[in-house]
């Protein structure tokens, strides 16, 4: 979808393949900012999670909170660039980590997953006790969980505005794409190599974890039974945010590249799938949280933070 105020990235021709854009973006990451880390309770009260803060130049500046993607952290390329852009504006910023992420071992009886809107809400309430104005952005898994929270809460949602980027809003469609073909070959083992050791450390279903070959296998063996879902089909259906998008009341920028290798174009939301509070932005290129662009300084990944912050500036 075209929006004159949000022009698409100037993607070089050799990165117009979604896989190429996704993977190349990681090579353009700069050094992370100097975060101030706090360990705070999670929503179960049985574990601590990491909040990595950037302090603004004014006490009354808004806070931008970022919820990362699967196995992401404050050192992920998108988080680094987003927090640096926030820092340049003089705003407060924080990357709120899900359980077991950011180098902090989880001691909770549950893990984290795409539909954990309860944890999103708890984190936002925790931050709202300190900051009077909050903008929220969610990336991929974190984006789906944030969108689900916004739909469930409606006008009660904490953020003054939000952005959801490269989110698998239809988890069943994303799962079918993810566990077959080139997407499976390129990404599945990367994620499983990180997820399975963490899952084994919980002692839950460790025998079944040894046989996981796909993310659906992992969700059947671990995510679904641990969190009260019947199987991965039930999990994907109940955790998807797309059915809740008509209930979103807070201003929301919903950004998905059409060539995202994690979500089929047919599953992208249309104007009929969302409330009037939702702005759909669907550039033809960008891959999965790639959005590599070119300007006079060469290739960079600044288009994403620039676009998100431009959207939030409307609500200042």
Q: Which residues are known to be catalytic? A: 140, 260, 288
Taking the alpha carbons of 188, 192, 194, 195 in that order, is the dihedral positive or negative? positive
Q: Are 95 and 122 in contact (CB under 8 A)?
A: no
Question: What distance in Å separates the CA atoms of residue 47 and residue 107, rounded to the nearest whole number?
Answer: 5
Question: What distance in Å separates the CA atoms of residue 262 and residue 256, rounded to the nearest whole number?
Answer: 10
Q: Which of 91, 18, 3 is nearest to 292 (CA)?
A: 18
Q: What is the DSSP letter of 201?
A: H
Tokens 């950037």 map to which residue?
54
Helix or strand (DSSP H, E) at 63: strand 63-67
Q: Residue 133: how many CA atoms within 13 Å on its side-chain side?
A: 14
Tokens 């100037």 map to which residue?
10
Concatenate the DSSP letters of all residues of 168-184 into one string.
-SSHHHHHHHHTSHHHI
Question: What distance in Å separates the CA atoms of residue 254 and residue 267, rounded to the nearest whole number?
Answer: 13
Residue 306: count of CB within 10 angstroms of its CB: 17
């Amino acid at each position: 979808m075209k929006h004159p105020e949000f022009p698409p990235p100037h993607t070089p021709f050799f990165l117009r393949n979604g896989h190429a854009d996704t993977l190349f973006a990681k090579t353009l990451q700069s050094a992370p900012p100097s975060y101030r880390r706090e360990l705070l309770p999670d929503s179960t009260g049985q574990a601590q999670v990491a909040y990595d803060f950037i302090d603004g130049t004014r006490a009354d500046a808004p806070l931008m909170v970022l919820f990362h993607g699967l196995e992401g952290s404050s050192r992920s390329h998108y988080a680094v660039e987003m927090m640096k852009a926030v820092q340049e504006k003089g705003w407060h910023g924080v990357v709120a980590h899900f359980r077991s992420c950011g180098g902090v071992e989880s001691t909770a009886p549950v893990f984290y997953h795409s539909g954990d809107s309860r944890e999103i809400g708890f984190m936002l309430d925790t931050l709202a006790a300190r900051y009077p104005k909050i903008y929220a952005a969610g990336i991929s898994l974190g984006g789906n969980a944030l969108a689900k929270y916004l739909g469930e809460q409606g006008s009660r949602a904490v953020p003054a505005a939000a952005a959801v980027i490269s989110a698998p809003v239809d988890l069943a469609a994303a799962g079918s794409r993810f566990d077959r073909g080139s997407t499976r070959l390129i990404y599945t083992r990367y994620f499983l190599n990180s997820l399975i050791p963490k899952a084994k450390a919980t002692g839950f279903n460790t025998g079944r974890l040894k046989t996981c070959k796909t993310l659906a296998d992992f969700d059947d063996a671990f995510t679904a039974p641990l969190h009260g879902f019947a199987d991965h089909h039930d999990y994907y259906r109940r955790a998807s945010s797309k059915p809740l998008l008509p209930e979103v009341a807070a201003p929301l920028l919903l950004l998905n590249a059409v060539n995202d290798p994690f979500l089929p174009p047919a599953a992208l939301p249309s104007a009929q799938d969302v409330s009037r509070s939702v702005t759909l932005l669907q550039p033809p290129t960008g891959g999965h949280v790639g959005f590599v662009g070119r300007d006079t300084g060469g290739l960079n990944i600044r288009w994403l933070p620039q676009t998100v912050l431009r959207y939030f500036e409307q609500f200042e």
